[in-house]
Structure 1
Amino acid sequence: MRIFSDRNRINISLLLISFSIFLYQVCLLRIISIADYYHFAFLIVSVALLGFGISGSFLYFFTSKIKNPGLIRLIFAFGFSITVFLSFVLINRIPFDSFRIMWEIKQVFYLLAYYFFLLLPFFFGGSFIGYVLQSNERPGVIYFYNLIGSALGAIAFIIIMKPIGKTGVIVSTAAMGVAATLIILNKKYLKQFLTLCLSFLIVVALLYQFYPAIFEIRMSPYKSLPSVLRNPGSKILISEENPYSLLDVISSESIRSAPGLSLKYNDVPPPQLGLTVDGDNISVITEVKKDAGRLKESDLIKRGGALEFLNYLPVSVVFESSPELKNILIIEPGGGLDVLASLYFSNHNNITVLQNNEMAVDLLKNEKIITDFNGNIYNRKNIKIYEMPGRNFIKQADDKYDLIIVSLSDSFHPVSSGAYSLNEDYLYTVESVSGLMNILAENGMISITRWIQFPPSEDLKVISTLVESAEKTGMDGISSKVFAFRSWSTLTVMFKNGRFTDGEINKLSNKIDALNFDAVYYAGVKSEETNKYNQLEKTYYFDYFKRVIESGKQERESFYRQYYFNIKPSTDNNPYFYNFFKFRQIPEIVRFFGKSTQPFGGGSYLVLISAMAISVILSLIFILFPLRLKKVGINFKRDFKFLGYFLVIGFGFFFIELPFIQKFILVLDKPAVSLAVILFSLMLSAGIGSYLSSRVNTRLELIISIIVVYIILFVTLSGFVIDFIIVKQLWQRAIYTVLIVFPLGFFMGMPFPKGIAAARQTRPEIIPWLWAVNGFASVIGSIAAVMISIHLGFLAVIVLSAVMYILALALYRYIKT
């Protein structure tokens, strides 16, 4: 006697496959983040949609030829299991590297191969779901299981990643596919598929046990971790992982990092350990030696000796300006070099440290290897550590700070590579810097240090952000509030909540002269005083800084437009601090593509363009062209209203999903959490809305009106809402996010089934085309949303979504008449 009926077993298998697909989708974000320089959420969404779209065309072609439904379900379920594992292994063997795409044309073909192997699990999983939906007489129930499985799979990654790791997630995903296969296994194919499933599990288990290297993620060789490990004697001391990051502590004789160290320092810095996050952005943990025993709370970190190198760092100039500092705030100090410097120069003052990585904090405070090495500095009584992003802290800070140090904790990445140009960084936005200014004490100071790039790029974006932020907070006399200087490798901007006095300027000028640092800008400085030691052909930095600081808003805007790089300040609506790309660079990109590194700030933008081209080509070949081959009865002149309707609702949906994923990184801290929560919310709400739309007769005019009004309210009020949410605990922020997204997703799920119902009444034969066109728009829309947001901002894309839904309503009315 069977415990479950055939229908229930199929439903359970569907639940498992749906769960696994979305679990794998979120896991891919972490895999790609470690392998490359960016999470590429848009790529993951686009590939998944492409796989689903191709599966739809496949089913349309071959459903009528399928004589044995039980066998085809088994093939799709087991194919999903196999391809999850193969996809993971194969993408780790493809040497795709976004860093090299500017000068290696073959990287585009690697990206194509990357696409192909990534979409295989989504093709098989989509085929299983599509076939079950298509062949079942109760699609509502099937859709419910698909909906629940997808939503739970998206959120489950956050829960299970830490205990089992990303390898465990991949194995679990494949194993759930095997379980789904076994659940629907019937007597006819019991022996064959049972053997296949067991063999597959045994092979995976043996590989996991005896050849674990196959599960290791291939990092870009240009990332910090593989670069350091290529040096003889280098080794990883500690490696830990959670759902948001991979943290490694490395021991290597090659690690000696002191960004901006004066060339007048003739000794060697003390031994250091390297700390990397996702294999990159190495920061250092510096050895602090004690004469005897552990460093006591009453001890001062002794001047001179091994730590004498701190006197030759740019941070020494910062402390020279104001030796009496009661409250110091240090933001994202990485391995703690700025924390050590603060203790060295100002030992007894209160030091607050913001470190948005719980594993890093735990290691620096509690790991004996680390505390013995760094003098246990993170456990001193005058240091408070908060495990939260700077934006969250700013909104709830009660104290005022005499000094705020925004640490240089990321590695040097040439602007010509554009490796980080797609990264969302909410620390360097106008809103963030304005918040820092609001928590400055009277005569308090912000210090921001960035790498020197030439032609000047990120340093100009820093000063433009500071100026715009100061104006936003109502400050005037900005020229008297800035003191900027540069070493041979870094540029530091000091911004004071007050004016730098003549005495302070003289003191700071003498200090930078003593270290052979060059003045960049301060009130009254002359051009000939700024390019003395680390000489350039012209006084570029002084000229550009002077133009930004001393110009009015219109003149600054004109300068931003004329400058070769995009140096306009980033905002919460457009948080691409590292994006320096402008369309005017396109002729040079075309001219030098595949020949050399290029002098523009949008390397990752080429990945966007390549991904768009690949998606268009694959969608045309595998989604739209097959329908043309089969000569499905379509008349473009007569049916454009149907095609247009499904095209614009496809764009409309993903012009919401992708900007929401990126914008809610500000609320939820991490890309993986944002992807998981947004996918969970949209899948659950849109699925329920779609399911109920066939049971509740609601006019599309009302549905579209609600969507448009909701979008207008979100665009208008999102800043206030985010400010309210951002101070909450992470689980509370996640719940608020679901509550914000759910109503919109609910109504966004209704236009598609409404359109299908309308087509079924008059043109049922073109429904496959409508599915295909919607799939095409979804694939392209997910990439187009990112491209538009880079230039116009998230809110512009969201407004475009409202426009798409209004167009959909106009086309729907035309359909009905």
Structure 2
Amino acid sequence: MKEGMDGMEASIRKDLILTFGTAYTLIVYEICLSRFFSAIFENQAVFLAITLATLGIGIGGYLSSRSPGNFYKLRSEWIGGFSLVLVAVVLIMYRMPYSGIWYYSALAILPFLVGGMLISFVMQHRHQEVNLLYFSDLAGAGLGAVSAIPLMNLTSPIQTIFLLSASLFAMSLFTRTNKSFFRKKTVYYILLFSLLYNAILPITEQLPFRSYQTSPSNVFMAEKNTRIVFSDWNAFSKTDVYDAGDGQLLYITIDGGAMSPISKYSGDLKFVDYLRNTTSYLAFQLFSKERALIIGAGGGQEVLAAQLAGFQMIEAVDINSGSFNAVKELSAFSGDVFHQPNVRAIISDGRSYIRQSRHQYDVIYLSLVKKKSENGFGIALSENYLFTQEAITAYLAKLNPGGKLAFLLHNEKELAKVKKATENALLSQGIPSAQIQNHFAVIGTYLHLGHVVWGMGGTLITRPLVLIGSKPFETSDAQRLKEEAKRIQQIPIHVPYVQDSYRLLTNTLEEQQLSTISSRDDKPYFYQMTSGVPQVFVWLLLAILLMVLMIVRKTNYAKGRAVYFSGIAIGFILIETTLVQRLILTLGHPTYAFVLVLGVLLVSGGIGSFVTGKWRMGTNQRFGSLICTAIYALGVNLAITWWNDHLISFPILARLIVVGILLVPLGFFMGMPFPNGLCRIPPHVVAISWGINGLMTVAGSLLSVMISMTIGFAATLAIGGAIYGLLYWIQPQLGMQNPETG
């Protein structure tokens, strides 16, 4: 009898380990995938590709419900296969030429599919221990979210995938009970050694990244005579430096775009005197020359321009450490411009830095700050917070009297949004609308480094420099700006008093039907140039809903249960993803927000799931965790709104602790409804329930973006909480009380 009990305990321990390992791997794979896709896609394609791929978890749950029951007995072999599929998929994507979003999504879905099937096999077989398994699932995902970014920074995304695969393969070897396996163990150990070796010295270091090299998003794709002289691939970006052979410039690219030049510099400014003829140089002309802040330091040309203008102290901020590393590594060419005596390099989010800085500035300059794509965290579009109405208000408050805020933008579309946000910021400070045009100047770029760029890419206004003052321009400054612009063959589009074309500029932008929506911190989608949401998101959402309806109909799954498991999936992801966005400003960096929110919510959710096994309720009771989640989510929403400006003065460790303590109870309650629901349904529909929950989690991710684009993050978080409250109210009608029905 004791041996039987020991065998059962060993079996459940094995399943907990397999569930933990699979969940850990899936979340780290998803984060690595976002970094991989950010290097080859633009715009919403990163988010869309990952959304399509993660559908595999839900589809895997459905497929496992239709699979033979003896698959559960092969779960150790299954996880070994999972490890090999994982590394094979990534290597194929790495080596094949760019083939479009559907190709990558179809490949990327395979590990999610296999992993989803594995977890649902285990959950359906161990229906009575579902609270323990869900604890293991959430704990694995939470720890994966916390460790993914340090792993990628320590190694690289590809090495991280090899390390995951090796760990899973080792787990497969040491949990097998099939004795005949040991006759083949030599082959398996050779495979394990190969995976571990590639985690240290990956084969990809000797092979070109073909999908990156051939991607249409790579600005050097068509350049045949360029070569990469520096490369750094971490959790935040893929940073490369290209030598085009001209001898005077190198070019940094971030994820294949956002190109920034590095000037050849030996320490003598006369060798970079040509920078006096660039539009950027105009940004440093109109004021005293004590202190400048440059947000988006890039390759350091703006630092050199500020030095040429005579600034005594220059602070260069960039969220991407890769740019600073590149300039330092290539110091023989760059002169290590960021380590000059009067230059201070800061790795930080620009918006966070400006809120914490105690200095006042004569100029704050943002130059072509970002590529129009998601960063490594899918929908965490941190760069958008640099261009909101609140951001402009904060910048203006940090200017000395007579100082100027300057933006160098890509085109008239960005100009329209910055212009509107500036107008609203100045109006909020009590400046009459008739006076705003005197605070605002726009210079278009005609020539850049000897090349005509006006009209580049079909633009109406190319690379506009926007200068904004909290005080009106002085007439003498306006006259000098116009003269300097013409001297270097740039185009004064609007200069107060001396070339007052503000109304003409406004009319021109309106005639182009450009977006005049002012980006706000609550809705910071700066690169959303049209009203509404992307149509592809709507169609994908409808496709997922149709897929779930087909599963429900084909399996005769109870509709009330489908509503319940769909609701908690959507509510969970609306709250989780929106918290990541809302806490970026509070914590000062997207990495902190991502790691803290996912880590705390998932791990504390796992604890909540574990506790449900101790607090078994009667079959007719409502799930109190639903209403607790609803109330607490609304409270967190209000707390973030109030704390956002108050917490920023605290040290980062204190902010992390305060926010972590705030989120623990929320995660605890959010971890209960899913195992509570699984305990109230027949064992044979557990896998289908898991599949529906997985599919609707993806639908919730789409909804979180669509709702936040339309009505903002605060409303999205409130809707997520309201869904839990609604489920609590209608629970008696959903058939979730009696496990013997249906």
Please indicate, yes or no, whether the TM-score normalized by the shorter chain is above 0.5: yes
Determine the C-alpha separation between the residues in 2 that align with 1:377 and 1:460: 33
Of residues 356, 361, 366 in structure 2, which corresponds to 1:401? 361
TM alignment of 1:312-711, pairs within 5 A: 312-322=277-287, 324-347=288-311, 349-364=312-327, 366-367=328-329, 369-370=330-331, 372-410=332-370, 424-452=383-411, 456-476=412-432, 477-488=435-446, 489-524=462-497, 542-545=503-506, 564-583=513-532, 605=534, 608-609=537-538, 611-612=540-541, 615-616=544-545, 619-620=547-548, 625=550, 628-629=553-554, 631-632=555-556, 634=557, 640-667=559-586, 674-696=593-615, 700=622, 702-711=624-633
Determine the C-alpha separation between the residues in 1 that align with 2:606 and 2:731: 21
Change (3 A) 1:387 1:661: same
Determine the C-alpha separation between the residues in 2 that align with 1:179 and 1:774: 30
- The answer to whether the Cα contact below 8 Å between 1:236 and 1:250 also exists between their aligned partners in 2 is yes
Determine the C-alpha separation between the residues in 2 that align with 1:220 and 1:664: 35
Deviates more, 1:806-815 or 1:730-739: 730-739
- Cα drift, residue 213 of structure 1: 5.4
- The answer to whether the Cα contact below 8 Å between 1:37 and 1:420 also exists between their aligned partners in 2 is no
Partner of residue 124, structure 2: 134
Change (3 A) 1:187 1:218: same
TM alignment of 1:706-721, pairs within 5 A: 706-721=628-643
Give the CA RMSD over aligned residues. Answer: 3.6
Of residues 254, 263, 266 in structure 2, which corresponds to 1:277? 254
Deviates more, 1:200-209 or 1:232-241: 200-209
- The answer to whether the Cα contact below 8 Å between 1:6 and 1:184 also exists between their aligned partners in 2 is no
- The answer to whether the Cα contact below 8 Å between 1:393 and 1:727 also exists between their aligned partners in 2 is no
Please give the secondary structure, in 2, of the residue aligned with 1:441: strand
Of residues 253, 261, 271 in structure 1, which corresponds to 2:245? 253
- Cα drift, residue 652 of structure 1: 1.3
Task: Give the letter for the 2:399 counterpart.
Answer: L
- The answer to whether the Cα contact below 8 Å between 2:50 and 2:105 also exists between their aligned partners in 1 is no
Task: Give the letter for the 1:375 counterpart.
Answer: G
Determine the C-alpha separation between the residues in 2 that align with 1:616 and 1:288: 58
Under a length normalisation based on structure 2, what TM-score does the superposition of the two structures give?
0.85
Change (3 A) 1:495 1:60: same
Change (3 A) 1:57 1:707: same
- Cα drift, residue 795 of structure 1: 1.8
1:310 correspondence with 2:302: no
1:793-812 C-alpha deviation (Å, 9 max, x unpaired): 22222122123223212211
1:175 correspondence with 2:97: no
- The answer to whether the Cα contact below 8 Å between 1:94 and 1:114 also exists between their aligned partners in 2 is no
Determine the C-alpha separation between the residues in 1 that align with 2:77 and 2:422: 59
Please give the secondary structure, in 1, of the residue aligned with 2:513: coil
1:30 correspondence with 2:35: yes
Change (3 A) 1:210 1:654: closer
Task: Give the letter for the 1:83 counterpart.
Answer: V
Determine the C-alpha separation between the residues in 2 that align with 1:773 and 1:18: 17
Partner of residue 64, structure 2: 59
1:329-361 C-alpha deviation (Å, 9 max, x unpaired): 1111211111100101115x2222222233433
Change (3 A) 1:736 1:89: farther
- The answer to whether the Cα contact below 8 Å between 1:430 and 1:570 also exists between their aligned partners in 2 is yes
Deviates more, 1:690-699 or 1:774-783: 690-699
Change (3 A) 1:426 1:767: same
Determine the C-alpha separation between the residues in 2 that align with 1:206 and 1:147: 30
Change (3 A) 1:420 1:406: farther
Change (3 A) 1:767 1:175: closer
Of residues 121, 140, 143 in structure 1, which corresponds to 2:111? 121
Task: Give the letter for the 1:116 counterpart.
Answer: A
Determine the C-alpha separation between the residues in 2 that align with 1:669 and 1:93: 36
Change (3 A) 1:515 1:216: closer
- The answer to whether the Cα contact below 8 Å between 2:130 and 2:675 also exists between their aligned partners in 1 is no
1:301 correspondence with 2:274: no
Task: Give the letter for the 1:571 counterpart.
Answer: R
Q: Unaligned 5+ residue runs, structure 2?
A: 447-461, 738-742
User: Alignment identity in percent?
Assistant: 23
- Cα drift, residue 524 of structure 1: 4.0
- The answer to whether the Cα contact below 8 Å between 1:223 and 1:280 also exists between their aligned partners in 2 is no
Deviates more, 1:9-18 or 1:783-792: 9-18
- The answer to whether the Cα contact below 8 Å between 1:641 and 1:815 also exists between their aligned partners in 2 is yes
Task: Give the letter for the 2:278 counterpart.
Answer: L
Q: Unaligned 5+ residue runs, structure 1?
A: 98-106, 255-269, 290-294, 531-540, 549-558, 584-601
Task: Give the letter for the 2:527 counterpart.
Answer: Y
Please give the secondary structure, in 1, of the residue aligned with 2:708: helix
- The answer to whether the Cα contact below 8 Å between 2:575 and 2:721 also exists between their aligned partners in 1 is no
- Count of aligned pairs: 704
Please give the secondary structure, in 2, of the residue aligned with 1:425: helix
1:750 correspondence with 2:688: no
Determine the C-alpha separation between the residues in 2 that align with 1:53 and 1:664: 28
- Cα drift, residue 196 of structure 1: 5.6
Partner of residue 80, structure 1: 82
Determine the C-alpha separation between the residues in 1 that align with 2:204 and 2:314: 46
Determine the C-alpha separation between the residues in 1 that align with 2:338 and 2:202: 38
- The answer to whether the Cα contact below 8 Å between 2:241 and 2:253 also exists between their aligned partners in 1 is yes
Partner of residue 450, structure 2: none
Determine the C-alpha separation between the residues in 2 that align with 1:33 and 1:197: 34
- Cα drift, residue 307 of structure 1: 2.9
- The answer to whether the Cα contact below 8 Å between 2:34 and 2:50 also exists between their aligned partners in 1 is no
Deviates more, 1:31-40 or 1:739-748: 31-40
Partner of residue 660, structure 2: 738
- Cα drift, residue 178 of structure 1: 0.7
- The answer to whether the Cα contact below 8 Å between 1:29 and 1:672 also exists between their aligned partners in 2 is no
- Cα drift, residue 450 of structure 1: 0.9
Determine the C-alpha separation between the residues in 2 that align with 1:176 and 1:39: 32
Determine the C-alpha separation between the residues in 2 that align with 1:219 and 1:608: 25
Determine the C-alpha separation between the residues in 2 that align with 1:232 and 1:93: 19
Determine the C-alpha separation between the residues in 1 that align with 2:508 and 2:169: 64
Task: Give the letter for the 1:317 counterpart.
Answer: L
